[in-house]
Amino acid sequence: MYLLLNEKAAGGTAKKKWDRIKNHILKKFDHLKVINIFDQHAIDQILIEPNNENEQKVIIAGGDGTVNYFINKLLSVKNEKEMESISIGILGIGSSNDFCKPFNIKSFINGVPCKINFKDALLRDVGMIKYKSNNEMLSKYFLLNASIGVTAEANNIFNNTDIVLKFLKKHFTNLAILYAAVQTIIKHKNFVAQLSFGPFEKYSFHVSNLSIVKSPNFSGNLCYPIEADYHNGLYDVYLAHSMKRTQLINLLRSLGKKVFPKNNFTKYCKAPKIKVSSESNFLVEFDGEVISTNYAEFSLLKEHLKICKN
- Give Cα 119 to chain centroid, integer Å: 24
Q: Counting beta carbons within 10 angstroms of the beta carbon of residue 135, is it exposed (0 to 12), middle (13 to 18) or buried (19 or more)?
A: exposed
CATH class of 2-116: alpha beta
- Give the number of residues written for the chain: 310
Residue type, 32: L
For range 50-70, the mean pLDDT: 87
Is the predicted pLDDT of residue 172 greater than 90, yes or no?
no
Per-residue pLDDT, 51:
65
In Å, what is the CA distance from 252 to each residue of 173, 176, 271? Answer: 16, 14, 24
Q: Which residues lie below 8 Å from residue 11, measured CB to CB, with a gap of 6+?
A: 95, 166, 169, 170, 171
Per-residue pLDDT, 201:
81
Is the predicted pLDDT of residue 255 greater than 80, yes or no?
yes
Find the farthest-apart pair of alpha carbons in the chain and give their distance in angstroms, rounded: 57
Planar angle of CA 282, 284, 285, nearest 5 degrees = 145
CA-CA-CA-CA torsion sign (301, 239, 182, 223):
negative
Per-residue pLDDT, 92:
97
The DSSP string of 207-222 is: EEEEEEESSSEETTTE
pLDDT band (50, 70, 90) for residue 25: very high
The whole model's pTM is what? 0.92
Per-residue pLDDT, 54:
67
Per-residue pLDDT, 161:
79
Per-residue pLDDT, 53:
56
pLDDT band (50, 70, 90) for residue 262: very high
CB-CB contact of 212 with 274 (8 Å) = yes
Is the predicted pLDDT of residue 166 greater than 90, yes or no?
no
Three-class secondary structure of residue 251 per DSSP:
helix
pLDDT band (50, 70, 90) for residue 48: confident
- Orientation of helix 64-77 relative to helix 40-48, angle to 10°: 50
Bigger pLDDT: 214 vs 198 = 214
CB-CB contact of 216 with 210 (8 Å) = no
CB-CB contact of 50 with 85 (8 Å) = no
Domain ranges of the chain: 2-116, 127-301
Distance CA 300, CA 309 (A): 20
CATH of region 127-301, choose from 3.60.21.10, 3.40.50.11930, 3.40.50.300, 2.60.200.40: 2.60.200.40
pLDDT in tens, 84-136: 899 999 999 998 899 999 898 999 999 999 999 999 999 999 999 999 999 89
